[in-house]
Amino acid sequence: MNPENNTSHAGEWMRGSGPDSDIVISSRIRFARNLANHRFVTRADRSELAEVQSKVREAIVKAGVCEDMVYYDLETATAVDKLYLVERHLISKEHGEGDEPRGVAVGKDEVVSIMVNEEDHLRIQVLKSGMQLTETWAHINEVDDRIEEHVEFAFSSKFGYLTACPTNVGTGLRVSVMLHLPALEWTKQLEKVFHAVAKLNLAVRGLYGEGTQALGDFYQISNQVTLGKTETEIVQNVSAVIPQIIQYERKVRETLLVENKQTLEDRVWRAFGMLSTARTITSQETMDLLSNIRMGVNLGIIDTLEMSTVNELFILTQPAHLQKLKGRTLPNTERDVERASFIRQRLEEG
C-alpha cells in the first residue's frame, strides 16, 4: 500500500470547486451489492471471502470504471494506513477494523472508490465536490452497470438487490450530501432543520457517517429508505430537500452579517489568529476553528485565503495524515505540536 502520493492534498470532493460549495462540501452516492451464489460477508469464511475479493478485483479491472485505479489490500495495511483511508472517506471505520480478506479500489482524484468485503461484497461510491447529485447519479449508474457486465449480483425479482442489512434491500442505494452549517449551529436552529428532515425519512449523521460526531459543523443528510422506491425517486427526494437547507443557512449568515457583524467578524478573526499562532492544538479544536474560518472566507471577511486551502486543512490535519506527512508514528502530544506547525505554515503560504 502506498498512498503517500495523495498525502499533500485532499481528494476532488474537498476542493470546493462544485456548485453551492459555500454550503455543500460534497455529493455522494453509494451502492451496496453482493455477488450471487456467495454467502454474505457476515456468514462467509475466510476462503470464500478471499474468492469474492479475487472475483471483484478482476471485475473492476475488466470493467475499466475509471482512470489509474489502485487497489489497497487492507489485510496487510498498517493501522495508520487504514485510518488515513477513513479520514479521506474512502473506507468506513468498520471496514478498517475488520480482519478478513478485504480491500478498497480507489480511482483518480478519489471520485470513484469501491470497498470490497465491508458489510456487503461491494460498496461502490462516487464522491463529487459541491451539489452534484444528478451528475453523481449518472456517474455511479455507469460504474455499476459496467461492473455488472463481469459479475452477477444477488438480485430478487420481488425484493430487488439483496444486502446484508435489511435497510439497504431494494435499490441498495444511499444518497448523501455533506453540508457545512455553522450559522445554523451558532444560532441554535439546527434542531428545527433536523426535525423537518426526519419527517421526510432522511437521516442526519456526522462527518464520518453513522454514529459519528458532527465535527467542524459538518453534517451528512441521506435517505433512510431503499425498498419500495426507484433509484431516481430517491435521488430526486434528497435533491428536493437540500436546496431549502442551503437557502436557510445562507439567510442566517446574511442576517448575522447585518445584525451581528462585529461579533461575527470577531469570531472569524479570533479563529484565524489562534490557528496562525498556536504552538499545540488538538484535532477537535482545529475543526471548530477551521469551521469559523471557512464561513469567514465564504462571507468575504477573510479575502487572503483560497477555499481549497481551508477545505484541505480539514483533512490534512487529521491524525493519520500528519503521521504520513512526517513519515513516522507520533504520540498525541507530539501530533498536536506538528498539527499547529503545519497549520501555521499553510496559512502563511495562503
Task: Kindly report, residue by residue over 157-187, the tens digit of the pLDDT.
Answer: 999 999 999 989 999 999 999 999 999 999 9
Cβ-proximal residues to 41 (8 Å cutoff; 6+ apart), any chain? 49, 100, 117, 118, 119, 120, 121, 164
Cβ-proximal residues to 190 (8 Å cutoff; 6+ apart), any chain? 181, 184, 219
pLDDT number for residue 213: 60
Residue type, 279: R
Angle at 259 between CA 253 and CA 260, to 5 degrees: 75
CA–CA dist 254, 260 (Å, integer): 10
Integer distance in angstroms from the first to the last C-alpha of the chain?
A: 31
Alpha helices in the chain (DSSP H): 46-63, 79-87, 93-97, 133-148, 182-186, 190-199, 231-259, 261-277, 283-298, 307-316, 319-326, 332-349
Tally of CB atoms within 10 A around 166: 11
Q: Are strands 218-223 and 202-205 parallel, antiparallel or unpaired?
A: antiparallel
CA–CA dist 143, 124 (Å, integer): 8
Quote the crossing angle between the two packed helices 283-298 and 261-277, to the nearest 10°: 130
CA–CA dist 261, 301 (Å, integer): 10
Q: What are phi and psi of 127, to 5 degrees?
A: -130, 120
C-alpha cell at 265: 467578524
58-85 burial: b if 16+ Cβ within 10 Å, else e? ebbeebebbeebebbebeebeebbbbbb
- What Rg, from alpha-carbon coordinates, does the chain have? 21
- Environment class of residue 265 by beta-carbon count within 10 Å: exposed (0-12), middle (13-18) or buried (19+)? middle
CA–CA dist 312, 300 (Å, integer): 19
Alpha helices in 113-260 (DSSP H): 133-148, 182-186, 190-199, 231-259
Length of the chain: 350
Class of domain 3-231: alpha beta
C-alpha cell at 203: 437521516
Task: Kindly report, residue by residue over 234-274, the tens digit of the pLDDT.
Answer: 999 999 999 999 999 999 999 999 999 999 999 999 999 99
- Fill in the DSSP letter of residue 103: E
- Environment class of residue 174 by beta-carbon count within 10 Å: exposed (0-12), middle (13-18) or buried (19+)? buried
Residue type, 152: E
Identify the segments of the chain with pLDDT beneath 50.
1, 3-4
Q: Tell me where in the chain the CATH 3.30.590.10 domain(s) lie.
A: 3-231
